Amino acid sequence: MSTSTQQSSAAPETSAPSQGALGGHEKQAPWVPWAVFGAAAVLALGFGLLTSWNIVLFVIYTVVLGTLGTYVLSRVTEGPRKAVDRLVTCLVISAFGIAMVPLVSLVYEVVRRGAARFDAEFFTASLQGIIGPGGGAYHALMGTLIITLLTTLISVPIGLMTAIYLVEYGTGRLKKSITFFIDVMTGIPSIVAGLFAYALFVLIFGPGVRLGIMGAVALSVLMIPVVVRSAEEVLKLVPNELREAAYALGVPKWRTILKVVIPTAIAGLATGVTLAIARVIGETAPLLITVGITNALNFNPFDGRMATLPVYAYYQLTQPGVPPQDAIDRAWTAALVLIMLVMGLNVVARLISRLFAPKTSR
Amino acid sequence: MAKRIDVSDLDIYYGNFKAVEGVNLSIEPRSITALIGPSGCGKSTFLRALNRMHEVIPGARVEGKVVIEGQDLYGSDVDPVDVRRQIGMVFQRPNPFPTMSIYDNVAAGLRLNAKKTSKSDMDDLVERSLKGANLWNEVKDRLNRPGSGLSGGQQQRLCIARAIAIQPEVLLMDEPCSALDPISTLAVEDLMMELKEQFTIVIVTHNMQQAARVSETTGFFNLNGVGQPGRLIEYNPTEKIFSNPDEKATEDYISGRFG
């Protein structure tokens, strides 16, 4: 995509001394592929100017022509083996570029549009009594944090204990069926999880009920299988020799698990839990059904509707009121905050795995 | 402390597969007994049956009797956890706990069993155990460093220190030197000679020179063919085994004319 700029920085280099390679072929200087892509960019620019200018077509032309040119040039000067290597390198880099397009464009767009309302008021005010400009998502942010915390409190003990059962104790048919149902749970659509939680609480409290805890239950249905799966994999990685070493010291099995297996795997367990939280924090559909939306602050997940960031963004966008622009700006900022939360959690997961990893320094 | 072990008519199974058949032997206290034999003949399985580590593997079970000073290890009221507190074990590959320091590794036997021990008692115990394992001088300045940072030979001696820290009656060693270089092997062998003053030691080894060097008594295990159970062919003083064995199979194995 940015071949033209990279080419401009590479082109001024003087030609590197070419070294002899196997088979009598000359080794290509490092700037040659860049030069080829530069030439391809110029060609594509020419095409574009002759026909009609289009940035997407320009990039596609450049990549295709550059790849072909590199391959042909390499085949002529370096031989078929090197040429295939260069061709595959070009293809892999192109695939990486294609994969990055949605991510980069999404982050760029959300940051660009969300920056407008990324201010102190957004994090300190609710939407109570707000018509038009101003207001914030303090209530939605708190709602998301409270519900996610409750979800974690429900899911992590159940998920961890299930994983411990599967790895350390489970045998035969029960283990197989639990594994099977965990797989089934992984595939449950989030809206179904929401309907399940709604139906469950309607049975107890009657129709029309909306509670923060309902959202936590719905999200737990989605989070538990993720926690079980990741914890299971991590516990399996703990070498059996460590368990045997502990048994040989006369340590009972439950203490071995508690004091040897879990501490050894703690980094992986914490990383798995953090990533599972990141997975559910942005869920919208189940919260839409179970928690609803409100404009006021509500810290109590056992009493009435709560706002959450994803649902907040959804309602600000679909029911903006008049004039619509203020609400749409708030929706973008809510999306930005959500993305930052998820990315923050991913960073935290990396830090955890580095901090808790068993130390092997001499 | 050291105790005598009597094994009678011991059959060991993995599920339906009979791995070891009809073992009868007596192991003297304060001695080193070596078990030799080809791979897969059931030496390690037999060793693990002596402290009920065998049954950790799903489906594994034992028939027959193992008696330590009159106490049947496989009696219905015996807790395998108690058995393992009396009979320590050192494994083929050094396996210090990676999350623990050198100090904590040695203290692990007591700590993990939640035995209340004062700091000074624990310090004494750790020092005594590390000295017992000939490791104290090498690690006394870095007791708080991770145990996995030591060399292979040091790690194995750390595991021995960890095993003797719980003051067992018997020490089982499953090829303790097979992952070590000759110098570390020598250190571990010297250590065994010292430890036999206090413990009953049973060692499985593939190294016949080692068996000849350290043990008083040697047992030779063999199996008739693949899928057949292993059996104890000969059990005699080490000198006799290596100079004038009763059985032809033993002589063939020791002199390298095997199979």
The per-residue pLDDT for range B163-189, each reduced to its tens digit, is: 989 888 889 999 888 877 888 888 888
Chain A: nearest CA to B223, how far in angstroms?
27
User: Does A336 lie in the same domain as A241?
Assistant: yes
In the three-class reduction of DSSP (H, G, I as helix; E, B as strand; rest coil), residue B240 is classed as: helix
What pLDDT band is residue A224 in, cutting at 50, 70 and 90?
very high
Last residue of a domain, one of A89, A116, A143: A116
**A185 with A76, same domain?**
no
Inter-chain residue contact A249 with B146, CB threshold 8 Å: no
Same domain? A226 vs A318: yes
Which residues of A are less than 8 Å from B82 in CB distance? 250
Q: How confident is the model at residue A362 (pLDDT cuts 50, 70, 90)?
A: very low
What is the pLDDT, as a whole number, of residue A9? 41
pLDDT of the residue at A214: 93
Cβ A247–B93 below 8 Å, yes or no? Answer: no
Closest C-alpha among B253, B216, B207, B210 to residue B235: B216
Quick check: B146 and A359 CB within 8 A? yes
Report the alpha-carbon distance of residue A35 to residue A43 in Å, rounded.
12
Domains annotated on chain B, with CATH:
5-96+172-254 (3.40.50.300)
Query: Looking at beta carbons, which residues of chain A come within 8 Å of B114?
Result: 255
Residue A93 lies in a domain: yes
Do A131 and A276 fall within a single domain? Answer: yes
Helix A212-237 to helix A172-186 angle (10° resolution) is 130
Nearest-by-Cβ selection for A358 from B99, B108, B150: B99
A357 to chain B: nearest residue by CA?
B99
A220 belongs to a structural domain? yes
| Cα separation, A334 vs A340, whole angstroms | 10
Chains A & B: contacts with CB separation below 8 Å = 88
**Close Cβ partners of B11 (under 8 Å, ≥ 6 residues apart):** B18, B20, B21, B22, B62, B63, B64, B229
Query: Is B213 buried (19+), middle (13-18) or exposed (0-12) by CB count in 10 A?
Result: middle
Residues in contact with A173: Cβ distance below 8 Å, sequence separation at least 6, in sequence order: none
What is the total count of domains within chain A?
2
Q: Cα-flanking dihedrals φ and ψ of residue B5, to 5°?
A: -115, 130
What count of other Cβ atoms lies within 10 Å of the Cβ of residue B44? 22
pLDDT mean across residues, chain A: 87
| Same domain membership, residue A265 and residue A178 | yes
Asked whether the predicted pLDDT for residue B190 surpasses 70, the reply is yes
CATH number at residue A345: 1.10.3720.10
Domain boundary among A81, A116, A151: A116
Global ipTM: 0.88
pLDDT band at A55 (very low <50, low <70, confident <90, very high): confident
Which pLDDT does position A11 carry in this prediction?
Answer: 40
Within a domain: A29: yes
Percent of chain B residues past pLDDT 70, beyond the cut: 98
pLDDT for residue B113: 81
What distance in Å separates the CA atoms of residue A36 and residue A169, rounded to the nearest whole number?
Answer: 61
The CA distance from B17 to the nearest CA of chain A, in Å, is: 19
Same domain for A187 and A98: no
Out of A239, A243, A249, the one facing B109 most closely (by C-beta) is A249
Residues A204 and A306 in one domain: yes
pLDDT over 60 at A69, yes or no: yes
Taking alpha carbons only, the member of A216, A223, A184 closest to residue A198 is A216
Percent with pLDDT over 90 in chain B: 18
The answer to whether position A194 is within a domain reads: yes
Residue A225 lies in a domain: yes
Residue A302 neighbours by CB distance under 10 Å: 9
Q: Which domain holds residue A287?
A: 123-356
Question: Is the pLDDT at A346 greater than 50, yes or no?
Answer: yes
Q: Which of A66, A86, A116 is the last residue of a domain?
A: A116
**Position A159 pLDDT exceeds 80:** yes
Q: Token match 């027959």: residue?
A: B64
Would you mind telling me the total number of residues written for chain A in this entry?
Answer: 362
Q: Is residue A361 part of a domain?
A: no
CA torsion B163→B165→B167→B169, rounded to 10°?
20
Whether A362 is covered by a domain: the verdict is no
Q: In terms of Cα–Cα distance, which of A139, A142, A148, A189 is closest to A316?
A: A139
Closest-approach residue (CA) in chain B for A252 = B81
Q: Are residues A85 and A134 in the same domain?
A: no
Q: Quote the CA–CA distance of A332 and A339 in Å, as a whole number.
A: 11
| Span B75-109, pLDDT tens digits | 888 888 888 888 999 998 889 998 889 999 999 88
Flag whether A231 is in a domain: yes
Claim to verify: residue A14 and residue A94 sit in the same structural domain: yes
Residues A235 and A272 in one domain: yes
Q: Kindly tell me if the per-residue pLDDT of B114 is higher than 70.
A: yes
- pLDDT of B210 > 80? The answer is yes
Q: Are residues A140 and A64 in the same domain?
A: no
**Mean pLDDT over residues A237-262, rounded?**
91
**A129 and A49 belong to one structural domain:** no
On the question of pLDDT at A22 being above 70, the answer is no
User: Edge-to-edge strands of the sheet including B71-72?
Assistant: B71-72, B60-68, B5-14, B17-27, B230-237, B217-223, B32-36, B200-204, B170-174, B87-90
Task: Fill in the amino acid letter for A239.
Answer: P
